[in-house]
Amino acid sequence: MTFREKLAISVKKNNSLLCIGLDASSDKIPLVRRTVSDPIFNFNKAIIDVTADLVCAYKPNTAFYEAEGTDGITQLQMTCNYLAEKYPEIPIIIDAKRGDIGNTSAAYARFVFDYLGGDAVTLAPYMGRESLTPFLEYGDKGLYILCRTSNDGSEEFQDLVIGEEKLYELVAKNVVENWNTNQNCHLVVGATKPEELAKVRTIVGDDMQLLVPGVGAQGGDVEATIKAGINTNGAGIIVNSSRGIIYASGGNDYTEAARQAAVKLRDEINNYR
């Protein structure tokens, strides 16, 4: 099954466009979990078990695992394995933002798809399509290319104007027109600028998925995000929240609080579909 098909099934089954970012650090998870072995994996497992009926995808960001070295990578793999075994219908998006020359991109693809078993990955566009060829060749996987990111200062290069178009618009255009021969390309567009999300949707048409981070801790508005990013079928967008859900409470009630936050955001998203 391709990533695209797997995502469509989980969106429908859980009636959800919510993706939860599994971005825990061992110094930020609730105290009650810090004493067990594999604390991040066990924290993730607890979060997953109370939200697996509420999400369309999970998205661990490699940075938080790498920061803890091999222990972290082990726990990232344990998390992916747990998802694949217990919730095989929910796709895993590895948020890695990788990009390197072809020879090296092939090695990153092995890490993300073969070692971790990810269904999709985030990638950086700066080096161009050819640099990402080894990823593009994984026709059954999903590739989310950074287009318009949610961070402060993302306009520094992304809003530069070439002719009559901004750089992020050209990224969207090139990806939809030239990169997507295997129908596995999608885009990352932040929730912090809904008008740009709407522009990207216009450029890419209905078929392409938009992964939208920036709701919650980063301040993106849910209603504006959904209205701007959704396609004419009421889908084509997934909204990521990390800290707003996994750290909804730092106390012993962290699973209940995470579930409540996930229910609230999933329902809020669905209100505007």
Looking at the annotation, which residues are catalytic?
97
> Which residues does 105 contact at the CB level (< 8 Å), separation at least 6?
98, 99, 131, 132, 133, 134, 135
Binding site for its own copies (CB under 8 A): 23, 25, 61, 63-64, 66-70, 73-74, 77, 97-105, 107-108, 110-111, 114-115, 124-131, 146, 149-158, 160-162, 167, 170-171, 174, 218, 243
Closest to its own copies by CB, 88 vs 128, is 128
Least distance in Å: CB of 32 to its own copies? 22
Least distance in Å: CB of 43 to its own copies? 15
The C-alpha atoms of residue 48 and residue 97 are separated, in whole angstroms, by: 23
Q: What is the DSSP letter of 188?
A: E
98-133 burial: b if 16+ Cβ within 10 Å, else e:
bbeeeeebeebbebbbeebebbbbbbbbeeeeebbe
The C-alpha atoms of residue 39 and residue 42 are separated, in whole angstroms, by: 5
Listed residue (73, 35, 64) closest to 247, CA to CA: 64
* Strand-by-strand arrangement of the 142-148 sheet: 57-60, 18-22, 237-241, 210-212, 185-189, 142-148, 120-123, 93-98
Least distance in Å: CB of 202 to its own copies? 21
Both tokens assigned to 68:
């803890």
The C-alpha atoms of residue 11 and residue 108 are separated, in whole angstroms, by: 28
Closest to its own copies by CB, 70 vs 233, is 70
241-266 burial: b if 16+ Cβ within 10 Å, else e:
bbebbbbbeeeeebbebbbebbbbbb
Least distance in Å: CB of 45 to its own copies? 19
Least distance in Å: CB of 232 to its own copies? 29
Closest to its own copies by CB, 85 vs 156, is 156
Closest to its own copies by CB, 8 vs 117, is 117
Closest to its own copies by CB, 21 vs 229, is 21
